[in-house]
Amino acid sequence: MTTKSHRGETCPDCGGDVLPVLYGMPGEAAMKASGRGELILGGCMLEDIAFRCGCGATSYDFDERSSESFRVDDARGYIGEVRWQFAKTMPRWPHEYTVRDWRIDLDDIFCEFVELIRAEGVVKPWPADSPTPRSHHTYLAIDGWDYWTMGDLVEDTSVINRARLDETWS
C-alpha cells in the first residue's frame, strides 16, 4: 500500500486532525511544532506511516478506505478511456504504457488506479523466468492484462504499464 498526502483532512474514525509524522531525533523547531499540534513525533523507529491522527488511525487506514471505493470495474473504465502506447524501446519485453499527463483531466482516476494496483496486486519478479530478477513490481491482473507501475510515490508516478498475461518474456 502507498501513502499520500492527507494533511488538512479530518480522520474518518474520529473527526480529528490528520497530521504528518516526523521520525528521528526532533530539533527545537519540531518540538515546538509538535507542541502546537502541527505534527506528531514518531520516535526513532522508522515506520512507513507518513500521517497519523491522535486517535491512532494512520495513512495506511486512510489509503485503504480510498482504494476500497475505486474497484476493478472503475479501472476498466479508465483503461478504455486512455491511450496505450507500445514500448518500442523494449521489444524483448513487449508491453504498453499510458502516461499520466496524456489525460490530465483523468488525473484523480489515474492516482486511484495506481493505488488499486498497489493495494490489490501481487508482487512478482521481473523478468519472471530469470534466476536473478532485475526488480520486483506489484502487478494487478485485469481482463488478460497485468498492470504495474515502477514503485514511485503515487504523486510522483507518471506511467502505468501493461502486458498481456499470455506473453512469454525471455
pTM score = 0.59
CA 108 – CA 113 distance, rounded (Å): 9
My answer on whether 87 and 60 are in the same domain is no
The string over 69-84, giving b where at least 16 C-beta atoms fall within 10 Å of a residue's C-beta and e elsewhere, is: ebeeeebeebbeebee
Domain assignment of residue 48, yes or no: yes
pLDDT single digits (tens) 43-57: 665 555 555 666 666
As a whole-number percent, the residues of the chain with pLDDT over 90 amount to 34
DSSP state of 145: E
My answer on whether 77 and 53 are in the same domain is no
Range of the structural domain that residue 134 is part of: 70-164
Residues 166 and 143: beta-carbon distance below 8 Å? no
My answer on whether 27 and 108 are in the same domain is no
pLDDT band at 8 (very low <50, low <70, confident <90, very high): low
Task: Please list, in sequence order, all residues whose beta carbon lies within 8 angstroms of the beta carbon of residue 108, skipping any fewer than 6 positions away.
Answer: none
Q: How many domains does the chain have?
A: 2
My answer on whether 155 and 83 are in the same domain is yes
Residue with cell 521489444: 91
| Residue predicted with more confidence, 158 or 151 | 158
Secondary structure class of 53 (helix, strand, coil): strand
My answer on whether 134 and 156 are in the same domain is yes
pLDDT single digits (tens) 51-85: 566 666 665 555 555 445 788 999 999 999 999 99
CA 123 – CA 140 distance, rounded (Å): 9
Q: C-alpha cell of 167?
A: 506473453
Number of alpha carbons in the 13 Å side-chain half-sphere of residue 131? 0
pLDDT at 121: 87
My answer on whether 128 and 141 are in the same domain is yes
How do 159-164 and 145-148 pair as beta strands? antiparallel
